[in-house]
Amino acid sequence: MLPLIYTNIWAAALFVLACLVWNVPEAVGMLKQTAKAARKDAAVADRGSLVVLLTLLWLGLALNFLLAWLAPAAAIDWQRMLLLLLGIALILLGVALRWYAIRTLGRYFTRDVAVSAEQTVVQRGPYRLIRHPSYSGTFLTMLGVGLAMTNWASLVALLACVFAGHLYRVRVEEQALVRAIGRPYSDYMRHTKRFIPLVF
């Protein structure tokens, strides 16, 4: 059974619209929110994590769409329209959380990992509860994309790739922040979770 977005023009239009709301700001951000463009005083400590993250993210998305076509036996046939609408809602909720986190971090946010000597620990907004709310937003968006495809194989492949890319990225980012900020960031790490408040 193929996803509704492959067989229903209105479902496809809703999904594409949600994906545009997600991807257009991301494309603009990739141009403007790098250390070179936005934080010339910061030292880049990325260790290839942006490339790894984007490669795994796009691999996950490719597998998501491909497996929904090639593995129709893995289709979720329960409440398909409801799952599609839930998926679209999660895409938009994830985008909102991600951009709220980016706005809260302000000038310290860059697409590549970059740190500076005067950097401080931001603990307001979503950063009071978790260390990486912009990534949590991405997870919500990807969960939404996977659910909208209504296919277990697609969902698992997408989330596995996205999670693997973020685990490496977060390790690099946290090591760089501990080196730059020191004990204040180590203390912050001790009383916050990475992605889900009180859980993980």
Assign residue 8 a region: left if phi > 0, alpha if psi is -120 to 50, beta otherwise?
Answer: beta
Q: How many CB atoms lie under 10 A from the CB of residue 138? A: 24
pLDDT in single tens digits along all 200 residues of the chain: 999 999 999 999 999 999 999 999 999 999 889 887 778 788 899 999 999 999 999 999 999 999 999 999 999 999 999 999 999 999 999 999 999 999 999 989 999 999 987 889 999 999 999 999 999 999 999 999 999 999 999 999 999 999 999 999 999 999 999 999 999 999 999 999 999 999 99
- C-alpha 77/C-alpha 52 separation (Å) is 34
Two tokens, residue 4:
């509704």
- Domains in the chain, please, with CATH? 4-190 (1.20.120.1630)
What is the C-alpha end-to-end distance of the chain, expressed in Å?
34
